[in-house]
Amino acid sequence: MKEMDKNNKSFENIKHIDEDGVEFWYARELMKVLEYNKWQNFEKIIHKAKISCENSNINVFEHFTDISKLSKRANNAEVIIKDYKLTRYACYLIAQNGDSRKKVIALAQTYFAVQTRKQEITEKEYTSLTEDEKRFFQRNLTKKGNYSLNQTAKKAGVKNFDKFHNYGYKGLYNGETADDIAKRKGLRYREDILDNMGSDELIANLFRISQKEQKLKKDNIQTEKEANKTHYNIGRNIREVIAKNGGTMPEDLPTPEKSLKQLEKENNKSLTKVKN
């Protein structure tokens, strides 16, 4: 299990996020983690993964983007080398087509299988999901939403992001900060509050995040003070809408028995047993 956690961190460490908040991996960085020494050999695996993608009637170019990079040689000479910008699904296909004798390949298959499944869920499927699956789906959206909001807030002059987000929480949770919410939920120090919310509570926070970003852009807010104030007001407005509709206030919604991180570890453990 320790080895799996170590490899999972390796996959996370080489993950990148673009300007739209979308995560991706570079093939040459993934090659090293998967213990391939020669690009020519790894590119053959990429080619097989592309074929698998095409055979599944999925657009190859959306998941495997050709890019060029400058690379320094031993004599400091710079040459242009080929690389790929990969989605999580592309990484999963590469792992599926890799050398199954390598233990790290089996670990990669498990890691990317679990993560890819969470991203494949569509709105049409949503109603048929279990509560935990809905939580994973909404948590993934809030991660992307918060990343995008932070980029917009930074342009608006926000520097203290903890304070900025607390204004939003205080508006939505009737004065509670992130620390207050964590204490009420009985969480350990630095445990993620969003990982310990049910799907309805995550949806309320996702709405707060998206509305706040729209407000920052629409009103062209340029100061941290104004950004904090409007974040509080957005949270408060959403709280008022919930009250008018007779809904349950966020702080009164039940906290799930298991965090998403705990569920993810259990899923990884189960998949590992199946692989073995």
Confidence of residue 8 (pLDDT cuts 50, 70, 90): very low
Q: What does the mean pLDDT of the chain come to?
A: 84
Look at residue 28 and tell me whether its pLDDT is greater than 70.
yes
- Residue 258 in tokens: 């298991």
pLDDT at 238 over 80: yes
Write down the pLDDT at residue 275. 43
Amino acid identity, position 41: N
Concatenated DSSP letters of the chain: -HHHHHHHHHHHHT-EE-TTS-EEEEHHHHHHHTT---HHHHHHHHHHHHHHHHHTT--HHHHEEEEEEEEE-TTS-EEEEEEEEE-HHHHHHHHHTS-TTSHHHHHHHHHHHHHHHHHH--HHHHTTS-HHHHHHHHHHHHHHHHHHHHHHHHHTT---HHHHHHHHHHHHTTT--HHHHHHHHTPPTT--SGGG--HHHHHHHHHHHHHHHHHHHHTT---HHHHHHHHHHHHHHHHHHHHHTTPPPGGGSPPPSS-HHHHHHHHHHHHHHHH-
> Residue 4: pLDDT band by 50, 70, 90 thresholds?
very low
Query: Tens of pLDDT along 80-127?
Result: 889 999 988 898 889 888 887 777 877 777 677 656 655 555 555 667
- Predicted confidence at residue 113, as pLDDT, reads 65
Tell me the average pLDDT across 215-241: 92
What mean pLDDT comes out for the span 209-217?
88
What tokens appear for 52 in the block?
């698998």
- How is the chain split into domains, by residue range? 2-120, 125-264
159-194 pLDDT per residue, tens: 999 999 999 999 999 999 999 999 999 998 889 999
Asked whether residue 274 carries a pLDDT value surpassing 50, the answer given is no
pLDDT at residue 137 above 70? yes
Report which of residues 119 and 131 the model is more confident about: 131
Q: Give me the sheet containing 23-26, strands edge to edge.
A: 16-17, 23-26, 78-86, 64-72
Residue 113 CB coordination number (10 Å): 16
pTM: 0.57
Alpha carbons 267 and 274: distance in angstroms, whole number:
11
